[in-house]
C-alpha cells in the first residue's frame, strides 16, 4: 500500500469537505428525528386533543343524561317500595281460606235437602286449625252422628262431603267409620257416631292458587 503524505503547511492545505457518509448519516438522522417528533406531534396535538375534546363533549352529554337516569332510579326505587307491599298482600291473600264459605258449604251438604233416607247428620263440635307452616294445610275436625244405626248413612255423608265445592282442596279425609250410640232422651235413640277429619292441601296447592304442583324427583 502506498502512503501519501501532505507536506504543505497546514494553512496551505485544502479544507476537507464533509464526507458523503457523514452527510448521508446526518441527513438520515435529521429525517428520522423529524419524523419521530412529527409523529409525536400528530399523536399528542392531533389525536389526543381531538379525544380530549370528544371526552369533554361526552362528559357533558353524560351529565345531562344522568339526570334522566337518576329520575328513573328514583322512580324505580319507589315502584319497588310500592310493589313490595302489593306482593306482600298477594302472598298473605293467597294463603287465606274463607272459613265462612267452608261452613256454608258444609251446612248445605249436611242439610242434604232433608233426604232422611240418605242421612240425617249433626255435629257436636268443630275444630279448624291452621299452622303457620306453609307446607301444611289447615285441618278440620268434626265429631258428629247420623240418625239410625246404618253405617251406609255415614258413607252417604262422606260421599256428599266429597262432592262439596271445598273438597277440591282437601288432601285427605278420614274413612267412614264410627260406632252405634244410644241416647234414651232422644227419639230415635240410635245414632251412628263418627269423627270426620279433613286435611286440606297447603295453600300453594289450592285450586285458586293453581292447584297441586307436580312433585319433582328427588336426587
Partner 1 sequence: MGKLNEKQRLRGRGGGALFLCLLGGGGVYWANGLVEDETAAIAAKQGEIKAAEAKIAKIPNAEREVIVLRENLSEYVRILPNGQELEEFINVIWEFERQSGVSIGMFKPGAKSRQAKNSKFSSVVYQFELTATIWQTMRFMNLLENHERFIKVNALQLKSGGKKRPGDQSRSGDEIVHDIKLTVETFVYDGAGAGKEVLVPNYANKRDALSEEIFKRQQKIRMDKYDFKGDLGRRDIFVDPRLEPGEERGDLPLEEQKRLLDNYIGIVQGLRDLFRRAKDPETIVLEQYRFLKSLKEGLAIAAPEIKDIEERGLISYVVYDSQWKKDVRQPLLELQERIADSSAAGAAAVDPWLDADEFEGVIAQMEDDLSNGDLAEAKGLFEGVRDKIAVPADDERFALRVRLEGLYKRTAVAIEFSKKTLDIQGVMVNEAGLSGVLLNGTVYEEGEYIDEDLFVRTVSSEQVAFVYQGFVLIKTW
Select the residue interacting with partner 1 from 5, 6, 14, 114 (CB under 8 A): 114
Interface with partner 1, residue 86, by CB under 8 A: yes
Q: Provide the 3-class DSSP secondary structure of residue 160.
A: helix
Contact between residue 151 and residue 192 where contact means Cβ atoms under 8 Å apart: yes
How many residues make contact with partner 1 (CB under 8 A)?
Answer: 90
20-39: contacts with partner 1 (CB under 8 A): 21-22, 25-26, 28-30, 32-33, 35-37, 39
* CA–CA separation, 121 and 201 (whole Å): 25
The only residue of 6, 15, 100, 215 in contact with partner 1, by rule CB under 8 A: 100
Position among 128, 151, 164, 180 found at the interface with partner 1 (CB under 8 A): 128
CA 166 to chain centre: 30
Among 68, 216, 217, 219, binds partner 1 (CB under 8 A): 68
Identify which range of 3-11, 59-67, 163-171, 192-200 contacts partner 1 by CB under 8 A.
59-67
Instruction: Using the rule CB under 8 A, give the single segment among 6-14, 83-91, 158-166, 167-175 that binds partner 1.
Output: 83-91
Cα distances from 129 to residues 31, 96, 139, 162, in angstroms, run: 97, 12, 5, 20
Beta carbon of residue 214, minimum distance to partner 1 (angstroms, whole number): 25
Burial of 116 by CB count in 10 Å (0-12 exposed, 13-18 middle, 19+ buried)?
exposed
**Burial annotation 27-57 (CB, 10 A radius, 16+ → b, else e):** eeeeeeeeeeeeeeeeeeeeeeeeeeeeeee
Question: Exactly one of 118, 136, 147, 151 binds partner 1 (CB under 8 A); which one?
Answer: 147
Determine which residue in the list 13, 51, 168, 172 makes contact with partner 1, applying CB under 8 A.
51
Site for partner 1 contains 182 (CB under 8 A): no
Amino acid at each position: 500500500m502506498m502512503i501519501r503524505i501532505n507536506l504543505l503547511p497546514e494553512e496551505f492545505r485544502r479544507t476537507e469537505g464533509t464526507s458523503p457518509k457523514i452527510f448521508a448519516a446526518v441527513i438520515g438522522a435529521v429525517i428520522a428525528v423529524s419524523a419521530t417528533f412529527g409523529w409525536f406531534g400528530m399523536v399528542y396535538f392531533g389525536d389526543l386533543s381531538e379525544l380530549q375534546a370528544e371526552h369533554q363533549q361526552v362528559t357533558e352529554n353524560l351529565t345531562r343524561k344522568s339526570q334522566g337516569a337518576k329520575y328513573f332510579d328514583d322512580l324505580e326505587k319507589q315502584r319497588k317500595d310500592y310493589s313490595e307491599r302489593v306482593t306482600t298482600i298477594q302472598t298473605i291473600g293467597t294463603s287465606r281460606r274463607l272459613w265462612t264459605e267452608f261452613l256454608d258449604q258444609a251446612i248445605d251438604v249436611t242439610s242434604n235437602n232433608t233426604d232422611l233416607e240418605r242421612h240425617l247428620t249433626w255435629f257436636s263440635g268443630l275444630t279448624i286449625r291452621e299452622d303457620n307452616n306453609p307446607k301444611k294445610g289447615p285441618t278440620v275436625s268434626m265429631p258428629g252422628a247420623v240418625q239410625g244405626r246404618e253405617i251406609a248413612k255415614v258413607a252417604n255423608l262422606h260421599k256428599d262431603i266429597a262432592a262439596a265445592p271445598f273438597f277440591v282442596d282437601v288432601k285427605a279425609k278420614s274413612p267412614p267409620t264410627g260406632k252405634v250410640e244410644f241416647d234414651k232422651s232422644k227419639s230415635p235413640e240410635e245414632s251412628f257416631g263418627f269423627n270426620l277429619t279433613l286435611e286440606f292441601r297447603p295453600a300453594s296447592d289450592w285450586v285458586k292458587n293453581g292447584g297441586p304442583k307436580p312433585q319433582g324427583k328427588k336426587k
